[in-house]
Structure 1
Amino acid sequence: MPSGLILLLGAWGIRRQDAVWRDEAVTYDMAHRALADLCRTLQHVDVVHGLYYALMHGWFRLYDATLGDALGAAAGLRLPSVVAMTAAAAGVALLGQRLVGRRAGLLAGLTFALIPVVQQYAQEGRSYATVCALVVWATHLLVRGAARPRRRWWLGYTALMLFACLLHEFACLALPAHGAAVILARLPRRMLRAWALSAVTVLAGLAPLAVFSTRQSAQIGWLMWPDPLQLLTFAVLAVLGLACARVRVRSRGPIGLRALGIPLLLLPTLLLLLLSHVEPAYVDRYVLYYVVGFALLAGAALARLLRPAGEPGQTRPRRLRRTLALAAALAALLPVDVRLRSPDSRVDDVSAVARAVREIAEPGDGLLFMPSRRRIWTATRPHDFRGLADLALSRSPSASHTLYGTELSGDAIRERILVSRRIVVAGDPAGQLSDDSDQEIAKRATLRSSFVECEVTEVRGARMALYARAGGTGDGGAGGC
């Protein structure tokens, strides 16, 4: 049932009116590059996502040849995440069943499927849902290995955790949570040694990628202090999870519910926040799997509180009140769930940007991206930008083996701008910090001194403006607005 629910919720509105946001556009671009070009690009940028891009490359070769024309690029980006979250929900249910019982497992899986952040990343063309699923099933093998020591369980645990870490480095923060569970459960020393050996193996396998990726640390230079809304989400789930942990439940195996659920809920996020004091690195999706700890604790508590009438301490009026409270909580989530499936649910909308550019531009117009990294907006709909001259571009993203291409010098960009009559500027909305590179300064200064703004169109996360040469003539042609 949990798998069916998340599959239904994942398929609901999966295309989001064909809206794609910038990170998904990066996935689409990288997955559609030849493997040789992809490997060369990863030497310069985004190596931490390299394995995911390679997997998506294989997926899109199959998808584009079969379902691509019918379902579109947006669905192709997100279907793997829907499948991954479906597998994660099944794993949470089985984990809850093994820790406490069948009813607790069912409710844990359902709780997991209904958490808004789970539904959000079930419809995200990035690696986070897959990482979450791998951590869930690795945790399941850890619990099985503790209950019935077998080499195959520990080998499977090691393989899944290494795979998760190679997809995203911060999956390694699940290892301390697993270690804490083993210690809190007071398992025999041989179990602790088995876990330690697995953890060391995973970290050793991750080390080359981690060391190489430090050369590309500037990629997360945009991260500042954690987003307050993300911190609030974690705080609410942490408080609710700890409250659920106070409900008395009987664990069935050597690793108890609290011993596993509480560390998995708290440690990954707290460790990432601690790391962020050294270098900003916190985004909730990096440790998305922390919600598994909450789901396990909440599922067990609900199984206890909603047990059938007639059991000790459970009267019909009390059961009815608790059922109504649960129904009210689920109803309160509905507005959030609906919004997650709208184009406004992400920071920007690449498709809306492309349509807006097409509406205000004419063939032969100049085109500027401000800042240059917004050139990723062309990745999924390049046909909407045909006929426009990218005035700052030196080498395209694919030719330069970069995400956003390379740009000319500031002086060269200025010269190109000055020979243009009309320029479409695709940039960030008002209020965003401006980049201070020579190229961006040259763009802003030349437009301000030699052009007038004729028309502005704002869409989700972007601002398109049409500029014409100051003093130009005409009523919409090449000589003016």
Structure 2
Amino acid sequence: MGLWLWPFALTLGLTCYGVTGSLLGRDELVTWDMVNRSTDQILATLQNVDAVHGTYYLLMHLWVGLFGDSVISLRIPTVFSMAAAAAMVSLIGHRLFGYRAGILSGILFAFIPAVSRFGQEARSYALVVFVIALATLLLLRVLDNPRSPWRWGAYALALACAGLLHLISLSVVLAHGVAVAAQARRDRSLWWKSAVALLAVAACVTPVVLLGRSQVQRQLYWIAEPDAWTLPPVMGDVFGGALGAGALIALALLARSPRKVPLLLCGTWAIGPFVLVWLASHGAISYFRHVYFLFTLPAWALLAGAGVSGACRSRKALAVLLAALVYVTLPDQRQMRQPFEHDAPVPVDYAAAADVIRQHYRPGDAVVYDRTDVWRLDDGVQYYLPRGLKLRDVFLAKSAVAVDDLVSVECSDPARCLKGEPRIWMLSQGDDFPFASVNPMQANVLQSKYTLSSSQSVTGMTVSLLVRKEKK
């Protein structure tokens, strides 16, 4: 039990530390928006956008229905997912490299800064890390007893869940194929059995593949096509810091095993997805984004654990090495918990903006949000405003929920949307002249009927109060 319990507890503790310290980021605000819709509304939206995250939204919809949508409630499922992933890493390491390497792999996994970072984010990536590690463990159990249909079924189910949570994670099949091929030389039935399992997985994820393909141009247009120099910075981002990445990779290179299969499995799991996605990203759309590769972290931890186990025989040497690793990754661990880390590198202080409005709010106040970019100022401020504080969204024609999308529809004729509100709060990006960043048509209408009473800059945005001009 200690094999998996200590890594689980360590990862849980590290990931829980500071879990509410960072403001919700833009992607997390999308999660909040989606999970507070009804099931029918979620399914309708997925027909138009974000189908690849649909399974996560539906799961979180059930969770939020039971436990609410506080910051800790939104993030705690990913906290436990990363902790469970650490337990899986230890169990896999025990099977592949022995007990000592297994528990060290789980501990090293816990120290990776990105584990804390994405264990504290209300998105699907931590859950993907766990399910891929689980699927790999279940594959090893299948290879122990290939005649068991239940083991094959459990493996296929886990792999299908991984694909439904994030399609790119299925690139791990390349590594799984290495393990199957190594044993298929002695048991040729593994070929058709694994093919049947993969066909079942393909059948499960095909609807998401088709929907995702129709939406990919809209959602991933901004990811740059990778070149030969893209990999090093992406690797650093996957680990949560260049120093941590260098340390783990160096330790992974020390991995040794009397059997080739464990090294081939983990090595292909660690590197294969990068190669496959890099190649696939030289077409119309690039998929080469660091968060899509977080599921490779267990493989790096397994190789590093095997390397440490072989290189550090004495407890003293092991303690020194672990202390050095903690020291090296400590700055990145601190960075992961900064208030605006989830919106880095363009921070936005939604909470401070909401607080300005809360302090000076009067009944009847309205609001105008700058929606000229993807900063989600409206969702961010609305989340941090008191639930009982109501502001009419002046230029909102149809909400995102009403149009089954993530983006709302604004009035085509701003002048007709004003209702004579005495005061309007205007939230705009950056700290320039408030009217400079909002829609020009809206800005013209507002300036003709309102005067700027006050303006206060917070990180990433400006909160302005407009007062209606007196009629002469």
Q: Is the 8 A contact 2:335 2:341 kept in 1?
A: yes
Q: Is the 8 A contact 1:162 1:205 kept in 2?
A: yes
Which shows bigger deviation, 173-182 or 153-162?
Answer: 173-182
Q: Is the 8 A contact 1:22 1:350 kept in 2?
A: no
The one of 304, 308, 329 aligned to 2:310: 304
**1:359-415 superposed Cα distances (whole Å, 9 cap, x missing partner):** 566554542222255232255245479453322200223333322322222xx1255
Aligned to 1:250: 257
Report the Cα distance in structure 1 between the residues aligned to 2:39 and 2:421, rounded to whole angstroms.
37
Aligned to 2:212: 213
Report the Cα distance in structure 2 between the residues aligned to 1:79 and 1:395, rounded to whole angstroms.
32
1:276–1:421 Cα change, 3 Å: farther
**1:204-241 superposed Cα distances (whole Å, 9 cap, x missing partner):** 32111111222322133343457885443359577656
Q: Is the 8 A contact 2:88 2:133 kept in 1?
A: yes
Aligned to 2:275: 270
- CA displacement at 1:119 relative to structure 2: 0.9
The one of 6, 10, 13 aligned to 1:8: 13
Aligned residue for 2:406, secondary structure, equals: coil
1:248–1:160 Cα change, 3 Å: closer
**1:254-285 superposed Cα distances (whole Å, 9 cap, x missing partner):** x7221111111112123223333321323222
Q: Is the 8 A contact 1:46 1:216 kept in 2?
A: yes
The one of 398, 405, 409 aligned to 1:406: 409
| Mapping 1:56-455, distance limit 5 Å | 56-64=60-68, 73-149=70-146, 150-183=148-181, 187-188=185-186, 189-217=188-216, 218-224=218-224, 229-234=233-238, 243-247=250-254, 249-251=256-258, 256-278=261-283, 279-308=285-314, 320=317, 323-347=319-343, 348-359=348-359, 363-371=363-371, 373=374, 374=376, 375-381=378-384, 383=386, 386-409=389-412, 412-413=413-414, 415-416=416-417, 423-429=424-430, 440-443=439-442, 455=454
- Structure 2 unaligned regions, length at least 5: 1-5
Q: Is the 8 A contact 1:249 1:304 kept in 2?
A: yes
Aligned to 1:25: 29
Q: Is the 8 A contact 1:355 1:384 kept in 2?
A: no
Instruction: Indicate the percent of aligned positions where both proteins have the same amino acid.
Output: 30
Report the Cα distance in structure 1 between the residues aligned to 2:302 and 2:234, rounded to whole angstroms.
21
Aligned residue for 2:121, secondary structure, equals: coil
**TM-score, scaled relative to structure 1:** 0.81
- Give the superposed CA RMSD: 3.3
- CA displacement at 1:297 relative to structure 2: 0.4
Which shows bigger deviation, 44-53 or 382-391?
Answer: 382-391
| Mapping 1:45-60, distance limit 5 Å | 45-60=49-64
Q: Is the 8 A contact 2:369 2:426 kept in 1?
A: yes
Which shows bigger deviation, 370-379 or 79-88?
Answer: 370-379
Q: Is the 8 A contact 2:427 2:464 kept in 1?
A: no
**1:328-371 superposed Cα distances (whole Å, 9 cap, x missing partner):** 22123223223323322211454334224445665545422222
- CA displacement at 1:298 relative to structure 2: 0.3
Q: Is the 8 A contact 1:397 1:406 kept in 2?
A: yes
For residue 209 of structure 1, what is the amino acid of its counterpart? V
**1:124-161 superposed Cα distances (whole Å, 9 cap, x missing partner):** 11111111111001001112222332332222111101
**1:404-451 superposed Cα distances (whole Å, 9 cap, x missing partner):** 322222xx12554697775433233369xxx99xx9453456668887
Aligned residue for 2:254, secondary structure, equals: coil
- CA displacement at 1:83 relative to structure 2: 1.4
Q: Is the 8 A contact 1:395 1:407 kept in 2?
A: yes
1:349–1:161 Cα change, 3 Å: farther
- CA displacement at 1:170 relative to structure 2: 1.7
Report the Cα distance in structure 2 between the residues aligned to 1:221 and 1:444, rounded to whole angstroms.
29
- CA displacement at 1:167 relative to structure 2: 1.6
Report the Cα distance in structure 1 between the residues aligned to 2:309 and 2:43, rounded to whole angstroms.
49
- CA displacement at 1:34 relative to structure 2: 1.9
Q: Is the 8 A contact 2:237 2:290 kept in 1?
A: no
